[in-house]
Chains A and B, each alone.
Chain A
Amino acid sequence: MSAIAPFDGFGLGLRRTHYADFLDGEVEVDFVEAISENYMVEGGKPLRVLEQVREKHPVILHGVSMSIGSAQGLDDDHLSRLRALADRIDPLWVSDHLCWTRTSAHNSHDLLPLPLTREALDAVCANIDRAQDALGRPMLFENPSSYLTFPEDEMAEWEFLSEMAQRTGCYLLLDINNVYVSAHNHGFSARDYIAGLPLDRVRQIHLAGHEPGEIIIDTHDRAVSGGVWELYADTIAQLGPVATMIERDDKIPPLAELLAELELARSLGRGNAGAIAA
């Protein structure tokens, strides 16, 4: 399996409301991340738009439906369509989430948490091996945000991710907001979590907003919070330059607003920690 070379840059998610901005203008991003499943279709406008955006920018394919933690294994149709899309788009890399979404009977279309057990780790690793073989490339997997833990948990999430990467050769997509959310919800240290990861396997960082509360909810519907920016600055100081993007999936503002937020990430990425206060 080939390696994924580090890629240093700052990007945004491709959302329908911004299609015209990306097609008609010059958007100041180093890459664009597309939700894979939105383009795993037969034809029509979405595919044409993605191909045109690809002519201007490197593209990352980020999935939400692989269900890498499913005990029943992966969906053949999903895998073959993802392979076809990856062959067509030639992305920087293909990613999905450490989660499960479905059983053999139904699909939740939500990123559900896995028990952190040896059994779950074995199932995840077997599925990752199969996915990487089917795609002919290594993948990135994103740490999830979660709202409950399981009584049968046998290890910390960062230990699960570390062994998963070591056994399968996959890379990590580190979602700083998800670390922040889960750390609050489950009472662990976000900095311990990041320190426990194999940082040499991290190829991308996600930043997003959340809804504060007794249980923090990962909503992606607002600006990145101050606490997440601070955690990002600390992480970048350890990790060095790494592809970073802002994720906004609901209440999507004009592109200029997201580009301004991305500029803060650029500034922090250049080591200007004072940018948070500004």
Chain B
Amino acid sequence: MTDLAQRQVAFLGAILDDEAPLPSGWGDERAPGLAIYRNNYRSSLVEALRSTFERTERLVGEDAFRRAAAHHCIMHPPVGWTLDLAGAGFAETCAELFARDPDVAELAALEWAMHEAFTARNTQPLTTAEFGAACAGFTERQWEGLKLKLVPDLRHVPATYDLVRLWTSLSASNTETEPDLTPLEGARCALVWREDERPVFVIRPAWEGTALASFRKGASFGEVCAALIGTLGEEAAIAEAGAMLARWVGEGLVERLDQ
């Protein structure tokens, strides 16, 4: 390692850790300057997290959020070149720090999914007419082998609370009401995607999120249906899978079909 590389490692180490000794050869006269760099580092990361997790901050309060954000920066110092990724893993940090309030991590996961969807790759999804034309005359075997390339902004996160109500109750303009923590019945998830440049989400059955993950991994429609039979029973699984596919196409979530 060159002298410059060693000095940079020592300097960054002193910024990341308030307790770290001053780099070799530094007198105390450099401590005030180092303190400014430490503060800049910490405050820019906390501000980045505040910007990404606005509703999570409103849910837990400013002081608790700042403590959680500082903890996250200490435990998971950023690695990549973009500050946009500073919030990666923050939902897991919230799950650890707010273990008695699982709504916090759930909301943070939703905000992170929406943050990612905001700048995901642009794409032109299949229209219902294009999908219909592409599938016209499909044999049963072709349906079973059908694979979907889903739009890149589509994501799913678990939902045990009514995240639509919670989201609305935490809007910036809604300062009077308490956070709405209505639990959902049954296993559910939130599907997140981008519509007219804005991230949106809806609550769906959890099996729909599972199906989405399976398609992403390359599963065929037949394989997804087979997995659903274990959850819904054979008759319902076929009907629900078909309805889900039609719904996704209508919502612009399918980029193209693969065989």
Residues of A near any B CB (own CB < 8 A): 37, 40-48, 65, 67, 70-72, 75, 77-78, 100-103, 105-110, 112, 115, 117, 119-120, 123, 146-148, 150-152, 185, 214-215, 217
Contacts and interface: CB of A to CB of B under 8 A. Distances in A.
Top 5 A-B residue pairs of the complex, sorted by shortest distance between their CB atoms = A148-B33, A43-B122, A147-B33, A71-B5, A41-B119
B197 A48 contact: yes
B15 A147 contact: no
Nearest to A250: B47
Given A45-B118, A110-B41, A215 B2 contact: no
Contacts of B7: 115, 150
B78 A109 contact: yes
A119 B1 CA distance: 13
A71 B4 contact: yes
Contacts of B32: 147, 214-215
A161 B12 CA distance: 23
B77 interface: yes
Contacts of B5: 71-72, 103
A43 B119 contact: yes
B125 interface: no
Contacts of B123: 43
A70 B81 CA distance: 12
Given A41-B119, A43-B122, A115-B7, A110 B44 contact: yes
A44 B118 contact: yes
Given A147-B36, A148-B34, A108 B41 contact: yes
A96 to B, nearest CB: 12
Contacts of B8: 70-71, 100, 103, 112
Interface of B: 1-5, 7-9, 11-12, 15-16, 25-27, 30, 32-34, 36-37, 40-41, 44-45, 48, 77-84, 86, 118-123, 152, 194, 197-198
Given A42-B122, A45-B197, A152-B25, A106 B3 contact: no
B83 to A, nearest CB: 5
B37 to A, nearest CB: 6
B33 A108 contact: no
B81 A102 contact: yes
B45 A109 contact: yes
B4 A120 contact: yes
Nearest to A150: B7
A76 B63 CA distance: 38
Contacts of A185: 33
B11 A112 contact: yes
11 contacts: A42-B120, A42-B121, A42-B122, A46-B119, A71-B2, A78-B81, A106-B12, A106-B79, A112-B8, A119-B3, A150-B7
Contacts of B86: 109
B119 A107 contact: no
Given A43-B119, A44-B120, A123-B4, A37 B81 contact: yes
Contact of B37 (A43, A48, A110, A150): A110
B111 to A, nearest CB: 16
Given A37-B83, A100-B8, A123-B2, 12 more contacts: A40-B82, A44-B119, A44-B122, A44-B197, A45-B118, A45-B119, A67-B81, A102-B81, A106-B77, A107-B79, A147-B36, A150-B7
Contacts of B40: 110
Contacts of B45: 109
B34 A109 contact: no
A103 B12 contact: yes
A112 B119 contact: no
Given A108-B12, A112-B37, A37 B118 contact: no
A36 B119 CA distance: 14
B15 A108 contact: yes
Contacts of A108: 12, 15-16, 37, 41, 78
Contacts of A105: 9, 12, 77, 79
